[in-house]
Structure 1
Amino acid sequence: MKKHFLALGLAAALLAPQAAGAEGFAIYEWSAEGLAMGGARMFAEDDAANMAYNPASIVKVQGEAFKTSATYLSPHGKYDATTTGGVVSGKNRIHPAWAPGMYYVRQINDKEWVGMGTYSRFGMVSQFERNSVAGSNAFSSKLNGISLGVNYARKLDEKWTGSVGAEVNYVGLQLDKNAFAGTAYASPLHIEGESYALGWNAAANYAFDDKNEAGVVYRSKVNHSMEADYDAHGMLATAGGYGSAGDAYACVSLPESLTFGYNHKFDDKTRVELNYIWTRWDRYQNLDITFTPNGGHSFDVPQPKNWGNGKRFALGVEHKFSDKYSGMLGYAYDHSSIPYEGGDFMIPTGTRTTYSIGGQYHDKKQTLAVSVGWMDVGSLDFKGDASHGDTFSNVHTRDSYTKIASISYQRKF
């Protein structure tokens, strides 16, 4: 077991710089089966990816299992920005991203299980033309996030199971913008940093009978204190007070969440899951950055966000066609948390509706699953901030969507 844990930990360290999400901030595509069921996969049988969806369900893994997955996300979208010269239209530069996942679960005895997993909980990629209207706000934004978690689960009796766990959350942030565009200080500004922080989770399942089960998962907030480097150019560096380079510092809390799920088996072949996730996005009130030029004095640049709390609904159906083949369908609806005066080109995402389908092959030793999804991203309206150099008064995003594909492989030992 120690060898498997060491290998998974090393894999997490290697994957961290590559982990990313598409449009949006929260990531739920943690396996091909999970994507196929819209993220409503809290009660899967014999699936090591339960580490991500519901750690209390790792007790459904018999013996020892290792699973790996890769999810491809390709965002697309357009915008209309109102400027002093009229409405200017543009679109994002397509920049696909990958969300990896690796999971290991081992049954210790008939009542205890232990698991380990690495997957992306938060991430985003947003890119626009450098000299476009969007560039005055953010022409390139990348948040690479990955979590490494360890959980202990136990069957408390015939109906109750529970789990507790710890998480190390990594965040790598890269921002590029044309700071103070339209003024004498217009210059490119690049910020890049990373942070590690700790969090925890707890989960519980209750089986009403052989056909009905309910569960809840709580994930704590994760407080990041990010230290970064920045490079300033042009007038921003010489007369704007930033200097040519220096340090940047910001505190951001990734929010806690509550997930509720219900599973119903119609028979031995077909089951349905319902899922609701509440995320406390109102913790994202500000993105205040402190700049300290090399050899200079520190100064703050406040950026209010004032997000609202998030609500996500999901429905997933799984049907076994035979002893070896299964099919899955999924639907998910994510309500947008971004207000008019808190939006930006970093995360130009409205309400998200995802439709997905997938298939699975399984035998006694291995499981292979593939799935595809279509995320219809609703429009978002947000206000420009002239005090920070935005060259637009407001923006309307439109025609946004994300193409998703995922593959997973699991091996039993």
Structure 2
Amino acid sequence: MNKNFLALGLAAALLAPQVAGAEGFAINEWSAEGVAMGGARMFAEDDAANVAYNPASITKVKGEAMKSSSTYLSPHGSYKLHDGDGKEIEAGKNVVHAGWAVGSYYVKQINDKEWFGIGAFPRFAMVSEFERESKASTNAFFSKLNGVSVTPTYAHKFDKKWSAAVGAEINYVGLELQKNLVLPAAGVNGTTQIEGESYALGWNAAANYNFDDKNEIGVVYRSRIKHSLEADLKGYGTKSLGVGGGDVFGNAYGVVTLPDSWDIGYNHKFDKKTRLELKATRTNWSTYDALNVYFDKSLIGIPGKVDSSPSAKNWESGWRYAIGLEHNLSDKYAVMAGFAFDESSIPYEGGDFMVPTGLRRTYSIGARYNDKKQTVAVALGWMDVGTLDFAGHPEKGDAYSSAHAYDSFTKIASISYQRKF
């Protein structure tokens, strides 16, 4: 029965929409307990979701456990557009496009020294949408990245102080980009759509060290993953009137490198009931230097013209800091709280309406019930996304010279269920 449960959980994680809101690109919402503690959950006891947060900590799982989680994210935000003289030319809001981050995890203790775990959860995902008739639509009116990582993991406990883990990562992304293409000189006023998917491989490694019964540190490294994306290209009404007008259909190709990252965590147990976690994450967003897409034919039907979509990003590497508190009210009930701060990695010249996010502050709370066989946890969070100013590029077709995103926030709700065998 446990094998069927594992297969069903992994299938649900792979088939469900792995989507986050317009608040960002990186996903940290992998379980309700993790949401409640702001993502600072690297040293949890008997939690199968350790496969995602800290593979070296699956050695804390006794026996065999299966866990599933679902996190609901609802983004909101506003923007203003300005022309070259700084005059406001449009104000609007993003189309509320809520989504789910779904995770499934399985851990089995092989013997006193060895553990096996596997997880299916999103590490990168986003969705943003704006009115199709807005001036923002010349940059992007619909952008979606669905992502899921499957991570088979082996962990070894060397002694009472040291444990370590290594794992592979099978990463899937599905990308869809839509925007309006307006070229008055060519008589073009149409819509473009690029849609494709890709699989790629990565790896991860982790280690924990216990100073004593109350203090523990850990580190996790996740490799960068390079995707070569082949996609369908559709241009509706993009063929120049000079060559008869009409639609264009073809293929598109691009390369995107998802960044590598380091997690460093510290766990302190005040007593048997209360513990505190600190976590810092360094993500090398500098790998996202450009989003260049190449077409096998001209979007306007003229060879050598509009046969690519170059877009420099030049994101900067940045840090995420989190603190989480867990307190056991009794043997069965616990409460949790957390706070996280994300630096913005998007420079003024590299911003766009695909990911219009500034620095992020996330406040969260949660509660958990557990007995010998099962655990249920719930969490609520509020993410203040902040503001972001970025440049438009009229020479590439943008209908504005600068943009200001503001009043952006995301509502978060999460639930997890774990069963032990």
TM-score, with length taken from structure 2: 0.94
Are 1:272 and 2:276 matched, yes or no?
A: yes
Of the candidates 234, 256, 262, which is equivalent to residue 252 of structure 1? 256
Distance in 1 (alpha carbons) for counterparts of 2:415 and 2:74: 15
Counterpart of 1:11 in structure 2 is: 12
Amino acid at match of 2:108: R
Counterpart of 1:134 in structure 2 is: 136
Confirm or deny: 8 A CA contact 1:371 1:407 kept in the other structure: yes
Distance in 2 (alpha carbons) for counterparts of 1:107 and 1:137: 50
Confirm or deny: 8 A CA contact 1:136 1:181 kept in the other structure: no
Are 1:188 and 2:191 matched, yes or no?
A: yes
Deviates more, 1:80-89 or 1:47-56: 80-89
Deviates more, 1:126-135 or 1:82-91: 82-91
The alpha-carbon distance between structure 1 residues 305 and 322, as it changes in their structure 2 partners (threshold 3 A), is same
Listed as ranges, the matches of 1:1-400 within 5 Å are: 6-15=7-16, 18-22=17-21, 23-83=23-83, 86-180=88-182, 184-236=187-239, 244-293=248-297, 299-400=307-408
The C-alpha deviation readout for 1:16-50, integer Å capped at 9, x for no partner, is: xx111112000000000000000000000000000
Q: Which runs of 5+ in 1 are unaligned?
A: none
Distance in 2 (alpha carbons) for counterparts of 1:2 and 1:361: 25
Aligned residues: 411
The C-alpha deviation readout for 1:69-90, integer Å capped at 9, x for no partner, is: 0000000000010036743110
The C-alpha deviation readout for 1:344-390, integer Å capped at 9, x for no partner, is: 00000000000000000000000000000000011000000112210
The alpha-carbon distance between structure 1 residues 82 and 296, as it changes in their structure 2 partners (threshold 3 A), is closer
Amino acid at match of 1:14: L
SS of the equivalent of 2:349 reads coil
Amino acid at match of 1:261: G
Distance in 1 (alpha carbons) for counterparts of 2:302 and 2:3: 49
The alpha-carbon distance between structure 1 residues 182 and 30, as it changes in their structure 2 partners (threshold 3 A), is farther
Amino acid at match of 1:319: H
SS of the equivalent of 2:58 reads helix
SS of the equivalent of 1:378 reads strand
Deviates more, 1:234-243 or 1:191-200: 234-243
Q: Which runs of 5+ in 2 are unaligned?
A: none
Confirm or deny: 8 A CA contact 1:328 1:359 kept in the other structure: yes
Distance in 2 (alpha carbons) for counterparts of 1:278 and 1:266: 27
SS of the equivalent of 2:267 reads strand
Q: 1:405, CA displacement in angstroms?
A: 0.3
The sequence identity of aligned pairs, in percent, is 59
TM-score, with length taken from structure 1: 0.96
The runs of 4+ residues in structure 1 deviating greater than 6 Å are 294-298
Confirm or deny: 8 A CA contact 1:270 1:318 kept in the other structure: yes
SS of the equivalent of 2:395 reads helix
The alpha-carbon distance between structure 1 residues 60 and 181, as it changes in their structure 2 partners (threshold 3 A), is farther
